[in-house]
Amino acid sequence: MARPLWSGSVSFGLINVPVQLVGAVRDLDVHFRQLHEKDGAPIETRRFCAEEDREVGYDEIAHGYETDDGTMIVLTDEELEAAAPRRSRTIDIDAFVDAGEIDPLLLDHPYILLPAGETDGVRRAYRLLAEVIEASGRVALGRIVLRAKEQLVTVGARDGLLALTTMRFHDELRPAADVDTGGARRPSAAKLKAAVQAIEAMAADWDPGDYEDRHRVRLQAAVEGSDRVEQVDDEDAADGGGRAPKSTASPDIMKSLKASLEKARAS
Amino acid sequence: MPRSLMNAAVVFGDVAVAVKLHTATTSERVHFHEVHAKDGARIEHRRFCTEEDKEVPYEEVVRGHEIRDGEYAVLTPEQLAAATPDGDRTIRIEAFVPAADIDPILRDKAYHLGAGDDAGAAYRLLHDALVKTGRAGIAFFVFHDRERLAAVLPHDGVLVLQTLRPADTVVDLDELRPDEGKDAPRAPTAKERKMAGQLIDALHEPFRPEDHEDEHRALVMKLIEAKAAGEEIEVPEAEDVETPDDLAAALEASLADRGHGGRRRRAAPKAAAKPSGSGRRSPARAKRKTPAKTKTKKKQG
């Protein structure tokens, strides 16, 4: 098993369940390292004090907050910890909410909580919590301190394990009302019907396994020197890509929808 | 509305809907720079060749993927560019799938789609038809030199594009599951289940995102202000917690605790002004011996 990212406990009423946090998704990206072209040796990043022009060690580095007038306020790791004292090792469950009420856009990163410890008491408490949460259809709300930052989290159940998801705070989600939707009126019943038909003609079951990570595949192929790397037309590369197709004009939508429908049915 | 990140078009069949991509999320976290603790000067990252032990200008840097320990496959900028297409700013929908079937664990970064020039009618039509069918469009699109899988879905009256993690990045839970073997723990008793269920019910509330403020952000800002005023910051110690052996007794005590405490009070959004120690803490938190508030004291001299 991967090394836990965090260990502590979930506090539910007066029950504390020691847990370890592991990622629910893993990084399968093709990673690159910077190398010196001349000798192929890896490049190493060294930290220098801009003032003294000398290399500094990790233990000499702190967090600087720049105020509006340009003053740098310096906080050490330990001082920052003071902002999250009691909770740093505990996920306090504050409340339970219906899982369906949570805006999915608030969900950030998924993790799994595993029981920490072999004792019967720990494993039983873990199992009880996972089972009752699963049966309730609810998720717990709590907070966790990860990398010196306190995050709001949901704790739910996934196949008998406790699943933790970090959340964004409400003010970290831009209001949908700010989005310019073009101000068009509701489409006519005929247009809506045609659009629904066009969508249904392209309907499929969702199987995420059908979609491979093409980016990863291409990079892997490039790394292996395979000829699977396609040369792309980079005519418009200078401005960061081609031009998007023009929007279908309102009077032409019906025609386009019908053409789409016929194509989808023919295929 | 901030500037759009990209002008693009959602295309399905013969229909194109011009859209503008905006980020749907912001980070309100307190931003810090890396500084030298001693003098508060900025830290610069400099590239050094590990072979020559001297600084290397950016032009001499290439990218290599480690194939074996210490052995790299080097990609030229041209090869790298060929593997990362520029894209044609088209979000071409390959299929429409039931939106509810998309596992939230796959949902990654979210963007708002605004209507592009003259696209209002087509935008509204796609939005309304997606609402009516309960489907999400699945598309590949290229953004920041990287092709990603994404879902286009209606959300709060607007279209949202959310990138989806590749399915194979999700960890197999059976690999994580603790090996129970012969000495599996005793199943929870009916009484324990019932009481735990009651505790969940007692803590149940409607989800109101505004009730959950980033208290840490506020505390960090307070620390910064205290530090700016020359105060010394006291560093707290962590405490140990234990799992009770008697689950039933602990649950009973937890339920009793809630009975006496009544409905837990929730802080109003402007709770920052209240004196410390009131309202906000849940009974579980209030039980902790040490207050969670930040202690500061004036520096001597």
| B81 contact residues in A (CB cutoff 8 A) | 234, 237
User: Which region among A241-250, B67-76, B147-156 has the lowest average model confidence (pLDDT)?
Assistant: A241-250
- Which DSSP symbol is given to A58? G
What's the start-to-end Cα distance of chain B, in Å?
A: 50
Q: What is the DSSP string of chain B?
A: -PPPSEEEEEEETTEEEEEEEEESB---SPP-EEEETTT-PBEEEEEEETTTTEE--GGGEEEEEEEETTEEEEE-HHHHHHHS----SEEEEEEEEEGGGS-GGGEEEEEEEEE-TT-HHHHHHHHHHHHHHTEEEEEEEEETTEEEEEEEEEETTEEEEEEE--GGGB--HHHHS----TTPPPPPPHHHHHHHHHHHHHTB----GGG---HHHHHHHHHHHHHHTTEEEPPP--------S-HHHHHHHHHHHHHHH-SPP---TTGGGSPTTSS-S-HHHHTSSS--SPPEEEPP-
Which domains, from first to last, does chain B contain? 6-24+84-167 (2.40.290.10), 190-236+246-298 (no CATH)
Average pLDDT, chain A: 87
For residue A65, tell me if it sits in a domain. no
**DSSP H helix total and E strand total for chain A:** 5, 12
Q: Do A154 and A116 share a domain, yes or no? A: yes
**Mean per-residue pLDDT, A246-257:** 86
Q: Do A198 and A167 share a domain, yes or no? A: no
**B280 pLDDT more than 50:** no
- Which DSSP symbol is given to A178? G
**Mean per-residue pLDDT, B56-65:** 92
User: In this complex, do B247 and A198 lie within 8 Å of one another by their Cβ atoms?
Assistant: no
Minimal C-alpha gap between A264 and chain B (Å): 8
> Look-up: residue for tokens 């031009």?
A243
Beta-sheet pairing, B90-98 with B6-12: parallel
Minimal C-alpha gap between B83 and chain A (Å): 5
Question: Which of A66, A68, A90, A202 is the best mutation test for B, with the most CBs of B within 10 A?
Answer: A202
| A183 contact residues in B (CB cutoff 8 A) | 120
CA-to-CA distance for B97 and B123, rounded, in angstroms?
A: 19
Host domain of residue A230: 187-204+211-243+251-266
- Which DSSP symbol is given to A193? H
State the pLDDT confidence band at A84, using cuts at 50, 70 and 90: low
| A93 contact residues in B (CB cutoff 8 A) | 203, 284
**B291 pLDDT more than 50:** no
State the pLDDT confidence band at A82, using cuts at 50, 70 and 90: confident
| A14 contact residues in B (CB cutoff 8 A) | 244, 250-251, 253-254, 257, 284, 287
Q: Do A137 and A255 share a domain, yes or no? A: no
For residue A217, tell me if it sits in a domain. yes
Q: Do A109 and A163 share a domain, yes or no? A: yes
Which residues contact residue A215 at a Cβ distance below 8 angstroms, ignoring those fewer than 6 apart?
A: B84, B146, B147, B148
State the pLDDT confidence band at B217, using cuts at 50, 70 and 90: confident
CA-to-CA distance for A219 and A211, rounded, in angstroms?
A: 16
Q: Do A21 and A95 share a domain, yes or no? A: yes
State the pLDDT confidence band at B259, using cuts at 50, 70 and 90: low
**A26 pLDDT more than 70:** yes
CA-to-CA distance for A104 and A109, rounded, in angstroms?
A: 11
CA-to-CA distance for B237 and A88, rounded, in angstroms?
A: 10
Higher pLDDT, B301 or A112: A112
> What are the angstrom distances between the C-alpha of B201 and each of A10, A68, A130?
18, 47, 15
Question: Which of A10, A11, A15, A192 is the best mutation test for B, with the most CBs of B within 10 A?
Answer: A15
User: In this complex, do A192 and B51 lie within 8 Å of one another by their Cβ atoms?
Assistant: no
Q: What is the pLDDT of residue B202?
A: 93
User: In this complex, do A253 and B186 lie within 8 Å of one another by their Cβ atoms?
Assistant: no
Closest CA to B148 of B169, B127, B162: B162
Q: What is the pLDDT of residue A89?
A: 85
Q: What is the pLDDT of residue B2?
A: 66
Q: What is the pLDDT of residue B17?
A: 96
For residue A232, tell me if it sits in a domain. yes
**B60 pLDDT more than 90:** yes
| A203 contact residues in B (CB cutoff 8 A) | 95-97, 133, 135
CA-to-CA distance for B273 and B44, rounded, in angstroms?
A: 39
Q: Do A129 and A12 share a domain, yes or no? A: yes
- Which DSSP symbol is given to A125? H
Please give the ipTM for the structure prediction.
Answer: 0.86
Q: Do A125 and A226 share a domain, yes or no? A: no
| A145 contact residues in B (CB cutoff 8 A) | 216
Q: What is the pLDDT of residue A1?
A: 56
For residue A52, tell me if it sits in a domain. no
**B301 pLDDT more than 70:** no
> Look-up: residue for tokens 């504050």?
A94
Q: Do A156 and A199 share a domain, yes or no? A: no
**Number of CB pairs, chain A paired with chain B, less than 8 A apart:** 589
User: Which region among A80-84, A131-135, B163-167 has the lowest average model confidence (pLDDT)?
Assistant: A80-84
CA-to-CA distance for B24 and A174, rounded, in angstroms?
A: 5
Q: What is the pLDDT of residue B248?
A: 83
**B297 pLDDT more than 50:** no
Q: What is the pLDDT of residue B240?
A: 64
* pLDDT tens-digit series, residues A185-200: 999 999 999 999 999 9
* pLDDT tens-digit series, residues B88-141: 899 999 999 999 999 999 999 999 999 998 899 999 999 999 999 999 999 998
Of A112, A147, A171, the position where a domain reaches its end is A171
Q: Considering CB atoms only, which of A103, A203, A240 is closest to B86?
A: A240
**Mean per-residue pLDDT, A69-85:** 84
Q: How many residues does chain A have?
A: 267
**How many structural domains are present in chain A?**
2
User: Whole-model pTM?
Assistant: 0.82
Q: Considering only alpha carbons, which residue of chain A is nearest residue B188?
A: A128
Q: What is the pLDDT of residue B270?
A: 33
User: In this complex, do A204 and B185 lie within 8 Å of one another by their Cβ atoms?
Assistant: no
Q: What is the CATH number of the domain that holds A124?
A: 2.40.290.10
Q: Is A119 helix (H, G, I), strand (E, B) or coil?
A: coil
Q: Do A11 and A104 share a domain, yes or no? A: yes
**A239 pLDDT more than 60:** no
User: In this complex, do A222 and B75 lie within 8 Å of one another by their Cβ atoms?
Assistant: yes
Minimal C-alpha gap between B282 and chain A (Å): 6
**Please, are residues B278 and A155 in contact by the beta-carbon 8 Å criterion?**
no
Higher pLDDT, A3 or B269: A3
Closest CA to A75 of B125, B91, B228: B228
Q: Considering CB atoms only, which of B48, B86, B119 is closest to A247?
A: B119
For residue A177, tell me if it sits in a domain. no
Q: Considering only alpha carbons, which residue of chain B is nearest residue A105?
A: B110
Q: Considering only alpha carbons, which residue of chain B is nearest residue A263?
A: B13
Higher pLDDT, A244 or A215: A215
* pLDDT tens-digit series, residues A87-135: 568 898 989 999 999 999 999 999 999 999 878 888 899 999 999 999 9
User: In this complex, do A38 and B155 lie within 8 Å of one another by their Cβ atoms?
Assistant: no
User: In this complex, do A179 and B113 lie within 8 Å of one another by their Cβ atoms?
Assistant: yes
Higher pLDDT, B187 or A227: B187
Higher pLDDT, A245 or A194: A194
For residue A71, tell me if it sits in a domain. no
Q: Do A111 and A221 share a domain, yes or no? A: no
For residue A70, tell me if it sits in a domain. no
Token couple for B240: 């140990």
**Please, are residues B111 and B162 in contact by the beta-carbon 8 Å criterion?**
yes
Q: Do A194 and A146 share a domain, yes or no? A: no
For residue A63, tell me if it sits in a domain. no
User: Which region among A14-23, A62-71, B71-80 has the lowest average model confidence (pLDDT)?
Assistant: B71-80
User: In this complex, do A249 and B118 lie within 8 Å of one another by their Cβ atoms?
Assistant: yes
- Which DSSP symbol is given to A36? E
Token couple for B136: 């999400």
State the pLDDT confidence band at A238, using cuts at 50, 70 and 90: very low
Q: Considering CB atoms only, which of B61, B96, B206 is closest to A203?
A: B96
| A61 contact residues in B (CB cutoff 8 A) | 34-37, 43
State the pLDDT confidence band at A263, using cuts at 50, 70 and 90: confident
Q: Do A21 and A127 share a domain, yes or no? A: yes
**Mean per-residue pLDDT, B251-256:** 82
Minimal C-alpha gap between A95 and chain B (Å): 5
**A230 pLDDT more than 50:** no
| A51 contact residues in B (CB cutoff 8 A) | 36, 39, 41-42
* pLDDT tens-digit series, residues A27-68: 999 999 999 999 889 999 999 999 999 999 999 999 999 998
